[in-house]
Structure 1
Amino acid sequence: MPLPDAKGGVSMQHAPARLLVVDDIEVNRELLVRRARRLGHESGTAEDGLDALAQLRAAPWDLVLLDITMPRMDGYETLRQIKADSALAHIPVIMVSAIDEIDSVVRCLELGADDYVTKPFNPVLLQARIEAALAKKRLADQRQAVLDALERELTLARRIQRGFLPLALPQVAGWSLAAHFEPARHVGGDFYDVVPLADGRLGLAIADVCDKGVGAALYMALFRTLVRSQLSNAPPGAPAGPLLSQSLAFVNDYIAREHGRDNMFATLFVAVLEPATGALAYANLGHDAPVLRGAAGGLRRLPPGAPACGLMPGLRPAVEAVAIAPGESLLMFTDGVTECRGAEGEFGEARLLAMLALDAATASDLAGALRTALSVHAGDCAAHDDLTVLCLMREA
């Protein structure tokens, strides 16, 4: 947008703006067009509101100089429609009218006009109003450009983070697996993983990194990579207990020593499953206790046996063992599930445990029912925390 320099000329500090002059009287249009051109701006004209709206929707404009008294559609209705249209509402509108009554000024400002100039207008005053409106729009455009760039970056980050999660869960004879991941923001700090080991066993992991957003997502990628690399590189036949203990000790010490200044940590539940027998060795580092549902419907929790991972070096997590019998299932989840907020408050553990009473034939059925229940509970409420579920079920 050009600005007058000290000698009255035009400084091309900014590109010329495009002004649309809307007036039913030709001499008024010509006068405003000449004024706009003297200021270094491009201009176009419209004879009434209908013509103006058509031109505004057909090409980009930076400012509208709008008369009030016009045939077919007056300035009030034109202004109302401009501001009601999301594609046009950002364009500043200056009313230029012979009506100098305060009621008209107030009405236009209430409808969204940026300014009001009466005819016959003072050229210096009109110039000041035009430049002020364009400066305001330029700042708004710059802000929107930054927001659009940020949105693109976050969309890319979300796509990359999705790539850290399994594209498809392994198919294991006699078992079914299902998962659901829903970040509270574009990216989140939760993750789940299912890692096939070289000897046919499965590594299972679910975690919740402290905090939310981009910082948590970066550490999510680090935690997930460390856990996966430790499990996937395990030698065939390595005893599950020492494997888990050593792997998680390494992850904990790396985070605590190399990144302790960031005070980042994660709650982790990591397990090794022997599909043939149903034997499950696990370590719970500060994570919400998964729920093991027996074939007869009884519930057993697998509570934490160590603090969260990454808090302090030297942590050696305890490893426990259970057996998953035919017809039994294991539900692993993050606290975003129980703390999911809706109009009635939090979803809560009681409602989660009640979901396990459903007669779900597969892990996918159970995860799907839980996802639906959470969605209904949340309604229109904004997500409060990342939400992750990993479900394992042994066929009866």
Structure 2
Amino acid sequence: MIAEIHNPTQSPHPPRVLVVDDSKTMRRLICLALQDAFELEEAVDGVDALERYSGFKPQIILLDMEMPRMGGLEVIRQLRETVEDTDTFIIVLSGLGENDLKAKALNMGANDYLTKPFHPEELKARVSVAGRQVLLNHELRRAYARISAEIALVASLQHQLLPNADIVTEGLEIQSLYRPSGQASGDYYDYFRMADGRIRLVLADIAGKGARAAFLMAIVQAFFRLGRRDNHSLEKTVTLINDHLMEISPSGSDFATLFAGEIDLEKGFLTYLNAGHCPGLLINPNGTAQLLEAQVYPLGMLAIENVKANVIPFAVGARLFLYTDGMFEWELDQSNMLSLGAFLVQAKLAAAAGGDFLDALAGKLTDLTGATPKYLDDQTALWIRRSGPTAAKRT
């Protein structure tokens, strides 16, 4: 039995080399050429090689093709497919005229080949190149691990910036959805009470992905929280964000779309600003639907002056759906993407169904294809409803 895959670069100096050949003379010649610079182990055929692989943990294998019990091709297949070892560097030892066999070995996962008879200096050079490649792969793996850990930390910190699932206020229900496509996301949502009792909410989508988008998301979050502390209007908050993004990236490549709103429960109004974002879907108490389209360009692209928020009724029974484009930018089939219009049709049907809106919407979208959609981007959404005393919840 073959042991599970090992890390072939745990001790890169000197590299471990497994010499596999049924000829004792050939094994001896190879070992004499390599013994000063490498840690060596010998195997007499493919079966012996797989047994020694588990204990010796070679970084490099010199592999003859024609051997009793098990040949070189089967050894390659076992290592690459069964054990799923893609790291160990395999150098095929082939005879003159074995071009077809050599090609098969390379196609199955061998990294290099050496034709018998070979000069000892060429052998040492080929194995040294393999050793450098193994070491490079090891360093790359360590670098990727560090990056992955840092991105995971960013994602953890980013998640802490999102609001807690606490009661927001009497008469308002808020349901949220946040599903990053990767560890760190450029999507952001927030809601909180202002000093005068109004409920401010925002949903934003930062261009790009990964750590940079997450960093810009934190900037947007900071400005909205600053607006709460200093009692800035929606217009001033949005203008400050736009100016700051333009300072960071004058080319306009770092931009954000967002929908920001403020609900006055006492007067029954919604004040909102849409900066290049997907249209908000407002369901009025009588069941009619209204799209809240963008009033200005995405933030960070162009200077904005004299921006003015819209004010509309938001009475008891009114509902508001905010979302990012990741909710609808996915493939219905191999040749068709779901359109915004088709997505909004399903959102209206989910709203009419009553109950848990986001669960109902997920069911409607699944029904379109008969399976859970294969989302390509972050999915973030807010569902806000004027109601009786209800706790906000997060999914």
Matching residue's letter, 2:145: D
Deviation at 1:75, TM superposition (A): 1.8
8 Å contact kept, 1:189–1:219: yes
The C-alpha deviation readout for 1:24-77, integer Å capped at 9, x for no partner, is 454543443333213x11112233323322433445421001223434322221
**1:357 deviation in Å?**
1.9
Note if 1:292 corresponds to 2:282.
Answer: yes
Residue of 18, 21, 39 corresponding to 2:19: 21
- Preserved CA contact (<8 Å) 1:339 1:347: yes
1:325 and 2:330 aligned: no
Change (3 A) 1:162 1:93: same
The equivalent position to 1:80 in structure 2, one of 77, 81, 93, is: 77
**2:82 paired with 1:94:** no
Deviations 1:328-364 (A, max 9, x none): 31001223334344425332222222222224545xx
Q: Percent identity?
A: 30
State the alpha-carbon separation in 2 of the partners of residues 116 and 309 from structure 1.
56
> What's 1:62 paired with?
59
Quick one: which of 344, 350, 358 aligns to 1:353? 344
Whether the 8 Å contact between 2:327 and 2:375 is mirrored in structure 1 is: no
Partners in 2 of 1:323 and 1:269 — Cα distance? 17
| 1:1-396 equivalent positions in 2, closer than 5 A | 15-38=13-36, 40-58=37-55, 60-85=57-82, 87-96=84-93, 101-168=98-165, 170-234=167-231, 243-256=233-246, 258-259=247-248, 261=250, 263=252, 264-275=254-265, 278-312=268-302, 315-343=305-333, 344-354=335-345, 355-358=347-350, 359-362=352-355, 365-371=356-362, 383=376, 385-395=377-387
SS at match of 1:280: strand
Q: TM-score, normalized by length of structure 2? A: 0.80
Unaligned runs of 5+ in 2: 1-11, 389-395
3-state SS of paired residue (2:233): helix
Q: How much does 1:116 deviate?
A: 3.2
Contact 2:193–2:199 (Cα < 8 Å) also in 1? yes
State the Cα distance separating 1:387 from its structure 2 match. 3.2
Cα distance change of structure 1 residues 246 and 136 upon mapping to structure 2, 3 Å threshold:
closer
Q: Is the 8 A contact 1:226 1:251 kept in 2?
A: yes
- CA offsets 1:230-275 (integer angstroms, 9 cap, x no match): 12443xxxxxxx833343344444444x436353432332122234
Tell me the TM-score normalised to structure 1 length: 0.80
Partner in structure 1 of residue 391 of structure 2: none
Pick closer, same or farther for the CA change 1:353–1:382 going to 2, 3 Å.
Answer: closer
Report the Cα offset of residue 179 of structure 1: 1.8
Measure the CA separation in 2 of the matches of 1:393 and 1:82. Answer: 58
Distance 1:325 1:309 in 2: 30
**Counterpart Cα distance in 2 of 1:69 and 1:260:** 61
C-alpha distance in 2 between matches for 1:230 and 1:100: 77
Question: 1:188 touches 1:213 (CA, 8 Å); kept in 2?
Answer: yes
Q: 2:178 corresponds to which letter in structure 1?
A: F
Distance change >3 Å, CA 177–CA 127, structure 1 → 2 = same
Counterparts of 2:164 and 2:35, CA distance in 1 = 58
1:169, distance to aligned residue in structure 2 (A): 5.3
Counterpart in the other structure of 1:3: none
Residue 8 of structure 1 corresponds to which residue in structure 2? none
Mapped contact 2:269–2:313 kept (Cα < 8 A): yes
Q: Judge conservation of contact 1:337–1:347 (CA < 8 Å) in 2.
A: no
Q: Structure 1 residues 309 and 127 mapped into 2: Cα distance closer, same or farther (>3 Å)? A: closer
**Bigger shift: residues 44-53 or 166-175:** 166-175
Query: SS state of the match for residue 357, structure 1?
Result: helix
- SS of the residue corresponding to residue 35 of structure 2 reads helix
Q: Which runs of 5+ in 1 are unaligned?
A: 1-13, 235-241
Residue 290 of structure 1, CA deviation: 0.7
The verdict on how the C-alpha distance between 1:213 and 1:45 changes in structure 2, with shifts beyond 3 A counting, is same
CA contact (8 A) 2:151 2:210 kept: no
Relative to 1, partners in 2 of residues 1:317 and 1:360: Cα closer, same or farther, differing over 3 Å? farther
How many matched pairs? 371
1:238 aligned partner: none
C-alpha separation between the residues in 2 aligned to 1:76 and 1:380?
Answer: 41
Question: Matches of 1:282 and 1:197 in 2, distance apart?
Answer: 15
SS in 2 for 1:117: strand
Deviations for 1:356-394, whole angstroms, at most 9, x for unmatched residues?
Answer: 2224545xx2223334555776968671x4432111123
